[in-house]
């Protein structure tokens, strides 16, 4: 949730930034720095997403299927 929170705060910051009364030169610098921060945060989120997708899925063969015929369970290995 930390990275999602960063996106929320930076989105609010970018929406409010033009209305704070900064001089245009400062506003340009702050907008550029905020954009770079968004790029870095999105790259970190993408990298984490890709590393989580690589995990190998493990399956366990801990069951055995039976042939159920007419009320009796028969095991194929005993025939």
73 beta partners: 68
- Determine the Cα–Cα distance for residues 53 and 45; give it in Å rounded to an integer: 12
> For residue 58, which phi and psi values (nearest 5 degrees)?
-105, 140
pLDDT of residue 59: 64
Look up the pTM and report it.
Answer: 0.55
Q: Is the pLDDT of residue 73 over 60?
A: no
pLDDT of residue 29: 92
Q: Is the pLDDT of residue 35 over 80?
A: yes
Angle between helices 2-16 and 24-53 (to 10 degrees): 160
């Amino acid at each position: 949730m930390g990275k999602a929170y960063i996106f929320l705060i930076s989105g609010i910051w970018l929406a409010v930034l033009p209305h704070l009364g900064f001089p245009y030169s400062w506003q340009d610098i702050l907008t550029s720095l905020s954009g770079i921060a968004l790029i870095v945060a999105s790259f970190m989120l993408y990298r984490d997403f890709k590393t989580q997708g690589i995990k190998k899925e493990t399956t366990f063969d801990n069951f055995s299927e039976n042939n159920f015929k007419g009320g009796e369970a028969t095991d194929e290995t005993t025939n």
